[in-house]
A = this chain, B = another copy of it.
Amino acid sequence: MSLVPRSIDEWLVREILKFIGPAPIQLIFQNGEPIAPPGVSPVATLMIPDRRTLWGLVLDPEVAFGEAYTDGRIHVDGDLVALLEAAYGAAAEAPACLYSRLADKWTNFRQSNTLSASRHNIHRHYDLGNDFYKLWLDPQLVYTCAYFPTPSATLEDAQIAKMDYVCRKLRLQPGETVVETGCGWGALSLHMARHYGVSVKAYNISHQQIVFARERARQEGLSKQVEFIEEDYRHATGKFDVFVSVGMLEHIGVANYQGLGRIIHRLIGDSGRGFLHFIGRNYPTQLSRWIRKHIFPGACPPSLDQAAEIFEPSNFSVLDVENLRLHYAKTLEHWLDRFEHSRDHVSAMYDPSFVRAWRLYLAGSVAAFRGGTLQLFQILFCGSRCEPVFWTRAPLYTEEPSAAEATKWITATS
């Protein structure tokens, strides 16, 4: 392979290869010869059909790759997840160019998290239709990282185990009151009420999710114990023993964390306990602009340093932090697999570019959690006048969870 490019196209291809470094990816431009970094066995081949796409990949790979893939302008032959994992690893080490930094700021400016903007952002993702999510989530529609007691556990069991793990970390006691913000389709609220005898007030601004959750509470006779409220977390009211939020922090914007801390303090005071489960980062950085533009507008997974703004001003004590990123990689593998198996159904509901965009999003997320560009944190905390929840963590792992009982419910209703 000569090091002198024979054409502008070859020069562009080599620029892309330079960017992805030693990543084991092979490029083919316009049915030409495959080009790959020397001495590696490629995990996937990226086929680029035209010069416009090629220029896009050189100038703004963060957005151009996703848009070209979605439009069907580039094709990937081989392992998409492995290709993305290699590319993310390379991109994380490359310094951000000026254009990328300016574009980041512009995206942040446009995608704020005011009350109305949040409603719009959440609507765009979570109100795509419950029928769509039913195709590839578990039967309870839990759309956050599961907890796999062993890697071979089923997704259904792992989601129940996760909900139970949250309840047990919080040591929920019968008769306690819980407020949940960002409750999705309601599975956790219902699990807490059903298995731990607590009463729950659950907030969410996704209309379709709230409708589903209320109907499920009614069917299960839990409407008195669990109240689902279509309202922003900023409008939560009341006094509770426990605050819980699973998968909401990523959506509210780092600028709102101090405000969230004050809201939690208002809800549970100095003697309550709290739990946050969220996608995070090793250090502060933005999601790719493609994800923010097409999948999760307004989203930003925080670093622990950023999340600390929630706890410190209210003198909350952090009791326990667990990083479950490999569990999210595993969860996403299940989702991607189910998504692919439901491709015909999804294709009947949406156009081909939607199918490709969601494949890319799910595969990219598997890659990000596997490779460690994304983390998954669970944080247990309590107010300054609350005794730490545990003497040791041992009972969490040595006492029988209620998951077995929950499984019976699933079997009975599915």
Contacts and interface: CB of A to CB of B under 8 A. Distances in A.
Contacts of A377: 318
A241 to B, nearest CB: 18
B323 A320 contact: yes
Interface string A308-341: 1101110111111111011000000000000000
A281 B398 CA distance: 30
Chain A interface main SS type: mixed
Contact of A282 (B384, B396, B397): B384
Contact of A318 (B284, B304, B391, B396): B304
Contact of A398 (B283, B319, B397): B397
Contacts of A282: 311-312, 315-318, 384
Interface of A: 92, 147-151, 282-284, 303-305, 308-309, 311-313, 315-323, 325-326, 372, 375, 377, 384-385, 387-388, 391-394, 396-398
A317 to B, nearest CB: 5
Contact of A372 (B305, B312, B317): B317
6 contacts: A282-B317, A304-B311, A318-B377, A319-B323, A320-B323, A372-B384
A86 to B, nearest CB: 13
Contacts of A385: 372
A150 to B, nearest CB: 8
**Leading 8 A-B pairs by shortest Cβ distance:** A321-B321, A305-B308, A283-B312, A397-B397, A394-B397, A319-B323, A282-B315, A282-B317
Nearest to A313: B283
A391 B313 contact: no
A113 B328 CA distance: 42
